[in-house]
Amino acid sequence: SSSSSSSSSSSDSLSPEDQAEIAVVEMMLEAYQMQMEKIHNKVKTLDNAILDAQSMVHIRLNVHRNRLTNVDLWITAFNTALIIGASVSGLFGVNLFGKDPNGEKLLVEPCDGCDVTAIFDQVALAGASLGPLIVVFVFIYIAIRTGFM
């Protein structure tokens, strides 16, 4: 209360022109303060908009990264299936030889009276041509069903 009485006593000693100038300065300061508050609010709004935009960019990047990971997974699974099919057809396509007691190479027959080369050749041909084709169609079907394609 002593400071208010001293300020009122000092304002009483000012001339009316000085009081008018002080009032004008106070009004100008209030106007500047209001403008600064508006600018501060606009800056806050812009900052929030920038943060939201960054969040959206990160979400989109995560979606694209997940899609690329999904593609990589599909390609890896497809290659694995093709390798398994090629390995099976390769095993059936190889000529199996053994040695007789004299050291000569013999074609090993899995059963009596069956033509080994015909059986292995047919299995190898079917595995080499139809196996990968079936695997491709299965992967395309799965990709369509899961919404990948």
pLDDT tens for residues 57-95?
A: 999 999 999 888 888 888 887 778 777 777 766 666 565
Amino acid 29: pLDDT: 94
pLDDT for position 23: 92
pLDDT at 12: 62
Which pLDDT does position 111 carry in this prediction?
55
pTM, full prediction: 0.47
What would the mean pLDDT of 121-128 be, rounded to a whole number?
A: 61
| Of residues 21 and 8, more confidently modeled | 21
Mean pLDDT, range 118-125, rounded to an integer = 60
User: What tokens does 58 get?
Assistant: 């990160």
Q: What is the pLDDT of residue 124?
A: 61
Residues 6+ apart with CB under 8 A from 86: 128, 131, 132
